[in-house]
Amino acid sequence: MTVVPRTKKGRLLAVMALVVVLFVAATARLFAWPVTDAPTKVDAVVALGGDPGQRRAHLAVSLARAGYAPVAVISLGGYHPPCPSAPPKVQVICFRPDPLDTRGEAEYAAKLAARHGWKRLIVVPERTQSTRARLLFERCTPARLFIVPVADHPSHWIGDVFYEWGALLKALVLKRAC
């Protein structure tokens, strides 16, 4: 038997509770446990920037070194880290996106993919960024994408989720083109 609130205040509380539950469920699905992929053979691995510790760049180079791709494409983002050295039999391409955001990284990677005929890409974002990275890269390139994220730093997780909500809404509503 379902209990139905009979007062305006009760209905309002029920609606607010439903909104909170839906927000938490959407946050969990989009940012905590987004759709990700296992590494597979591709034409290039693309590491997104904005990572002072270069964890994404290190994973991209490691995946290339392990034989998943002959090329690692590294966004240096807004920081000024050195371009990682190329292991044997791996080409490393470093770049600074313009605009300096995930869309700029997707645009640059799409141009490289078109120029080199790449059909399959691994994209390495942070876990909370995976949903938006997939959306933007799908808009910019017809290449088949495999999202292989690094874990967010635990101390940044809440801030990253709030940032990603805003950035995802911006990508869905305001900046819909590649």
Q: Give the mean pLDDT of 106-110.
A: 98
What is the C-alpha separation between 125 and 87, in angstroms, rounded?
21
Mean of all residue pLDDT scores within the chain: 93
The token duo for 1 is 């038997």
Q: In this structure, what are the phi and psi dihedrals at residue 77, rounded to the nearest 5 degrees?
A: 55, -150
pLDDT in tens, 29-80: 999 999 999 999 999 999 999 887 899 999 999 999 999 999 999 999 887 7
CATH of the domain spanning 44-174 = 3.40.50
Q: How many Cβ atoms from other residues are within 10 Å of residue 100's Cβ?
A: 15
At a CB cut-off of 8 Å and minimum separation 6, what does 58 contact? 84
Question: What count of residues does the chain have?
Answer: 178
In the chain, domain spans: 44-174
pLDDT in tens, 133-146: 999 999 999 999 99
**Is pLDDT above 70 for 4?**
no
DSSP state of 67: T
